């Protein structure tokens, strides 16, 4: 019996990414970066809806005290509402790097957003890791990166994990309550046979689930960084996992069709993984 199913809809994503669970809506959101869309899957009905975005968008994260989302786009941080549709600029952290875009993000327990940037083709080390605070101030926290990807935070809030996909390297940082970071530590190195580390999430036990770009699977690593198990998927470019559902035991995984000729590339998969995740924190601002 297969451990995965394809979420039925009328299109595939060129570059599916940024999958995020909205408990208050009972819906999974994700983006198609190259296709410039935000997608929503309502779990109760199975209905999928999408919205066109004015520029490439790497992720959306819900807000605690406002309607809508914070979105990370090519030009920076924006406030986003879908109904009615409105995109309002907040900050552009890299106005001098027109060839860069935002790529992936997460929130910490205090409701701050951690988001990375990258050059459009990932060939230059122009990217960085940023923190967006509740007062909408932003802070450049770490650099350089070729393809900044997959931030996620350990269940106890002690560690922030982040990757440079181009280097096949997962890093970790000690995360302080005030939002400061300890030194960058090499944590997990991907051999070429695994593909590249892409988006990540954690489960309730501290396991780190990592999507394999070019590796066609999602893997669980122990809190010590050992690869414990993996689930093969019928697409090579796997981009990000996310726990969802009332019990946070449904794992949704995005993928990309750009540059490959595979029937199921660009699908959103639901994966039976035998783990339970954590509810994402809403952005505090």
* Residue 177 labeled ligand binder: no
160, with CB counted inside 10 A (0-12, 13-18, 19+), is buried
* Residue 198 labeled ligand binder: yes
Question: Three-state secondary structure along 45-96?
Answer: CCCEEEEECCCCEEEEEEECCCCCEEEEECCEEEEEEECCEEEEEEECCCCC
The set of residues, in sequence order, having a beta carbon less than 8 Å from that of 98 and lying 6+ positions away, is none
* H-helix segments, 113-229: none
Which residue among 13, 104, 198, 203 is the active-site one? 198
* Residue 103 labeled ligand binder: yes
> Tokens in use for 69?
């989302």
The helix/strand/coil state of 281 is coil
* Residue 146 labeled ligand binder: no
Residue 198 known to be catalytic: yes
Active-site positions? 198
Query: Residues annotated as binding site?
Result: 17, 101, 103, 121, 149, 198
Known binding-site residue numbers for substrate: 101, 103, 121
């Amino acid at each position: 019996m297969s451990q995965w199913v394809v979420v039925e809809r009328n299109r595939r994503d060129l570059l599916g990414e940024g999958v995020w669970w909205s408990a208050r809506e009972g819906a999974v959101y994700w983006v198609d970066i190259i296709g410039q869309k935000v997608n929503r899957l309502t779990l109760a009905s199975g209905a999928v809806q999408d919205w066109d975005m004015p520029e490439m968008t790497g992720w959306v994260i819900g807000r605690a005290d406002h309607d809508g989302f914070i979105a990370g786009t090519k030009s920076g941080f924006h406030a986003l509402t879908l109904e009615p549709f409105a995109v309002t600029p907040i900050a552009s952290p890299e106005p001098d790097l027109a060839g860069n875009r935002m790529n992936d993000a997460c929130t910490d327990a205090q409701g701050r957003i951690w988001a990375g940037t990258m050059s459009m083709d990932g060939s230059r080390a122009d990217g960085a890791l940023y923190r967006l605070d509740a007062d909408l101030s932003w802070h450049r926290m770490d650099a350089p990166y070729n393809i900044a990807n997959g931030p996620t935070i350990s269940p106890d809030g002690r560690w922030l994990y982040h990757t440079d996909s181009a280097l096949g390297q997962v890093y970790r940082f000690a995360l302080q309550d005030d939002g400061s970071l300890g030194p960058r530590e090499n944590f997990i190195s991907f051999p070429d046979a695994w593909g590249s580390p892409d988006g990540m999430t954690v489960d309730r036990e501290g396991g780190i689930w990592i999507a394999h770009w070019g590796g066609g699977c999602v893997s669980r690593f122990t809190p010590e960084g050992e690869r414990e198990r993996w689930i093969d998927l019928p697409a090579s470019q796997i981009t990000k996992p996310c726990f969802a559902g009332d019990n946070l035991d449904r794992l949704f995984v995005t993928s990309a069709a750009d540059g490959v000729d595979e029937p199921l590339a660009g699908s959103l998969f639901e994966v039976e993984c035998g783990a339970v995740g954590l509810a994402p924190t809403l952005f505090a601002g």
